[in-house]
Amino acid sequence: MAVGPRVLEAAGLREPGRRTRLREWWEQEHIFGYGLIVPAIVLLVTLVGFPFGMAIWFSLSDYWVGSPGGFVGLTNYRDILGNETFRQTVQNSFVFTGIALTLKIVLGVWLAMLLARNLSFKRVIRGIVLLPFVIPTALSTLAWLWMFDSLYSVVNWTAIRLHLISAPGPNWLGQSAYAMAAVITVNVWRGLPFFAIVVLAGLMTVPREYLEAAEVDGASSWGRFWHVTLPLIRPVLAVVILFSTIFTFADFNIVQVLTRGGPINTTHLFATLAYQVGLQGGNLGQGAAISLFIFPLLALVVFFQLRYVREE
């Protein structure tokens, strides 16, 4: 007599068999591995990969908010490259990133060297130093907006009382060069702690014996820094610089709150211009093309970063 599936099922044999097989299948290392990573991959493909593709499609189309738009090739890119405001933005981005990053590197290493000393209140000092990095940037920038106010600027008030400048002093956010200086100051204020703390961690790994040996050999403190400390913290410095390059270049918060790109577009960065053109102006195609100009830099940084990770 042949035993049909229904008999097996009635005997309660088939169901556990299937469950066991499923369980054995799930317990295989590679299946379990894929299973755990699927949610992350689904999320990143649908909400990062797909939108990224959309951004490229937008930039090649005349897509406006509320209208589908069609393929127009490289028209958007041609238009923005011929646009005075965009050229100004490219220049701003490099000036902003170049100066802010240089200041953050130099001051960050200097600050880290000071923090590495065996000071009392070490924890409190480190806690305070990190504060600007922790507080919401848009909110702390509001304080700076008030400090740079055209009429009631506390910076000018102090400088005038100390006879450093004559009244009324610069209109910080209303004059091009001063506005750029203000935006850079706030970016350095906010980004310096990150450099200092990460470099500090790097300094902690420098073996004391190396420095002592160098001192015995008669190296000056500058010589010890240049020939012993710096080469040893180079990897950690490289990582911080690469990360910071992208996030300084792609900054939005500080400029949006402080100047909105003004005066006369002299502090616009790619992100704030893309926001103005793409969302406030409704020209999604051109906005996307503008924001995609961050991409080549991003690709370059990723390339160096990955090469560095592989070498490690």
Partner 1 sequence: MALAGSRGARIRSNIFAYANLAPYIFFVLFPFYFMVVTSFKSNAELYNLKSIPFWIQSGVITDHYALLFQKTDFVAWMKNSLLVATVATTVSLVISILAGYSLARLRFRGAASFGTAIFITYLIPPTLLFLPLSQVVVWLGVADSISGLMLIYPTFLVPFCTWLLMGYFRTIPREVEECALVDGATRMQTLSKIVLPMAVPGIICAALFSFTLCWNEFTYALTFISQSANKTAVVGVTSDLIRGDIYFWGSLMAGALLASIPIVIVYVLFLDYYVSGLTAGAVKG
Q: Any contact of residue 194 with partner 1 (CB under 8 A)?
A: yes
Rounded-to-integer distance, Cα 256 and Cα 140, Å? 13
Identify the sign of the CA torsion 155, 159, 164, 167. positive
180 sits near partner 1 (criterion: CB under 8 A) = no
Using the contact rule CB under 8 A, the part of the chain among 9-17, 69-77, 108-116, 176-184 near partner 1 is 108-116
Per CB under 8 A, does 203 bind partner 1? yes
Q: Report the residue number, 2 or 121, with the smaller CB distance to partner 1.
A: 121
* Residues 61-90 interacting with partner 1 (rule: CB under 8 A): none
108 in Cβ contact with 196 (< 8 Å): yes
Contacts of 189 (CB under 8 A, 6+ apart): 132, 144
Does residue number 255 form part of the binding site for partner 1 (CB under 8 A)? no
User: Applying CB under 8 A, does 118 fall inside the site for partner 1?
Assistant: yes
Q: Does the protein bind partner 1 through residue 240 (CB under 8 A)?
A: yes
Question: What's the Rg (C-alpha) of the chain?
Answer: 28
Nearest to partner 1 of 153, 265 (CB atom): 153
Whole-Å CA distances, 89 to 244, 269, 272 = 19, 5, 9
| Cβ partners under 8 Å of residue 13, min gap 6 | none
Contact criterion met (CB below 8 Å) for 214 and 228: yes
Which one of residues 10, 13, 47, 81 is an interface residue with partner 1 (CB under 8 A)?
47
The contacts found for 273-278 with CB under 8 angstroms, 24 or more apart, are 273/85, 273/86, 273/89
Does 233 contact partner 1 by CB under 8 A? Answer: no
CB of 261 to partner 1, least distance (A): 13
| Candidate list 100, 182, 195, 233; residue touching partner 1; CB under 8 A | 195
Shortest distance (Å) from residue 284 CB to partner 1: 6
Q: Considering only residues 13-32, where is the footprint of partner 1 by CB under 8 A?
A: 23, 26-27, 29-30, 32
One symbol per residue from 136 to 155: x for binding partner 1 (CB under 8 A), - otherwise; what is it?
Answer: xxxxx-xxx-xx-x-xx-x-
SS3 content of the chain, % helix, strand, coil (to 5): 75, 0, 25
Question: In this structure, are residues 287 and 272 in contact, taking their beta carbons and an 8 Å threshold?
Answer: no
Which residue stretches of 116-252 are H helix? 122-134, 137-147, 154-161, 176-204, 208-216, 221-224, 230-249
If the CB atoms of residues 52 and 78 are measured against partner 1, the closer one turns out to be 52
Q: Applying CB under 8 A, does 100 fall inside the site for partner 1?
A: no
Selected from 173, 198, 233, 237, the binder of partner 1 by CB under 8 A is 198
Size of the site for partner 1 (CB under 8 A): 106
Q: Is 307 among the residues that bind partner 1 (CB under 8 A)?
A: no
Residue in 215, 232, 235, 263 binding partner 1, rule: CB under 8 A: 215
Integer CA distances (angstroms), 147 to 10, 18, 128, 133, in order: 81, 70, 20, 19
* Smaller CB separation from partner 1, 74 or 201: 201
